[in-house]
Structure 1
Amino acid sequence: MQDTVAVALITSLSTLAAAALTGLVGALSTRRQLAHQLTVARQESAERWATRRDELRRDAYVGFLSACDAAYRRLDRRWVEPGVDTATPGYDETYAALRAVDEAYNLVLLEGPADVAAAGRSVLASVTTEYAEQRRLADEPGDAAVPLRDRHRERWLAAIEVRTNRRVSFVDVVRQALGRDG
């Protein structure tokens, strides 16, 4: 009888040990799977956030370039058409276009990164400088019926070159920031 009890005791202890070992292995396996799933979820979340950030940045950059294009059209008009925007000194359509560039630049500042913001500041400065120069040149004595481009051809060509160079530099920096080098 004692042999039967001993066999029963050994059998139950081995069953309990096997159950505990199975539970431990199961718990470790589950823990490893949960850790892996958590890592995958974090990576997916980081990728979604990076994609969203890139979309926001791209939208800000495109908005800035669009505002620059509108300002460039107004500046071009001032160069080639005599007397444009002279009816309201201090505030005109070209000034309004420059303000739109400034507002679009605020989004570029917020979205960053710093090198894109610096390139955008350079574009903004060139547009503002060109506008100020146009106003100064228009105030100089001379035939107001002759377009600024014809009266100050060298300044017009230099302004176009600066504008183009700054814009190209901005686009190059933006491409790098968005991971599109080519």
Structure 2
Amino acid sequence: MQDTVAVALITALSTLAAAALTGLIGAFSTRRQLAHQLAVARLESAEAWATRRDELRRDAYVGFLSACDRAYRQLDRRWLETGADEPGSGYDEAYSAMRGVDEAYNLVLLEGPADVAAAARSVLASLTTEYADQRRFGDEPGGSATPLRDRHRERWLAAIEQRTSRRISFVDVVRPVLGRDG
């Protein structure tokens, strides 16, 4: 009978040990699976955030360039207008377009990064300088029937050159940020 009890005890203990070992292995396996799922979820979340950030940046940059185009069109109209004793409606339209560039620039500042914001600031500075020149030239005494472009040809050509170079510089800085190097 002692042999039977010993066999029963050994069988019971081995069954309990096997159950404990199975539970322990299951717990470790579950823990590893959960850790892997958490890592995958974090990675997907980071990728989703990066994609959203890139979309926001792209929208801000495109909005800024579009606002610049509107301002350029208004400034071009002012260059072609003849002088007058009082500022014409082109000033109001140009001012409105400049405000649009300021608002778009604010989004670029928020979305960053710093080198893109600096390039945008350079574009904005050239626009502001051109607008100020036009205001100054338009306020010259003895308004002429000659367009500003013809009266101040060198400044007009310099303004066009500034526009082009600053815009290209902005786009060159933006492309790597958006992952488009070419």
- Provide TM-score, normalisation by structure 1: 0.94
**Within the alignment, does 1:82 sit opposite 2:82 as a pair?**
yes
Partner-residue secondary structure (3-state), 1:82: coil
CA positional deviation for 1:140 = 2.5
Structure 1 vs Structure 2 CA RMSD = 1.7
Name the structure 2 match of 1:130: 130
Distance 1:142 1:172 in 2: 43
Distance 2:113 2:45 in 1: 21
**Within the alignment, does 1:115 sit opposite 2:115 as a pair?**
yes
Distance 1:71 1:23 in 2: 71
Runs of 5+ consecutive residues of structure 2 not aligned to the other structure: none
Query: Counterpart of 1:86 in structure 2: which amino acid?
Result: P
Cα-to-partner distance string for 1:26-59 (whole Å, 9 max, x where unaligned): 1101100110000000000000000001101111
Distance 1:76 1:88 in 2: 14
Cα-to-partner distance string for 1:4-31 (whole Å, 9 max, x where unaligned): 0000000010010011111111110110
Q: Percent identity over the alignment?
A: 82
Runs of 5+ consecutive residues of structure 1 not aligned to the other structure: none
Distance 1:2 1:50 in 2: 71
**Within the alignment, does 1:38 sit opposite 2:44 as a pair?**
no
Structural mapping, 1:88-99, within 5 Å: 92-99=92-99
Partner-residue secondary structure (3-state), 1:23: helix
| Larger deviation, residues 65-74 vs 150-159 | 150-159
Distance 1:51 1:4 in 2: 69
- What is the count of residue pairs matched by the alignment? 181
- Provide TM-score, normalisation by structure 2: 0.94
Name the structure 1 match of 2:23: 23
Deviating beyond 3 angstroms after TM superposition, the runs of 4 or more aligned structure 1 residues are none
Conservation of the 8 A alpha-carbon contact between 2:108 and 2:120: yes
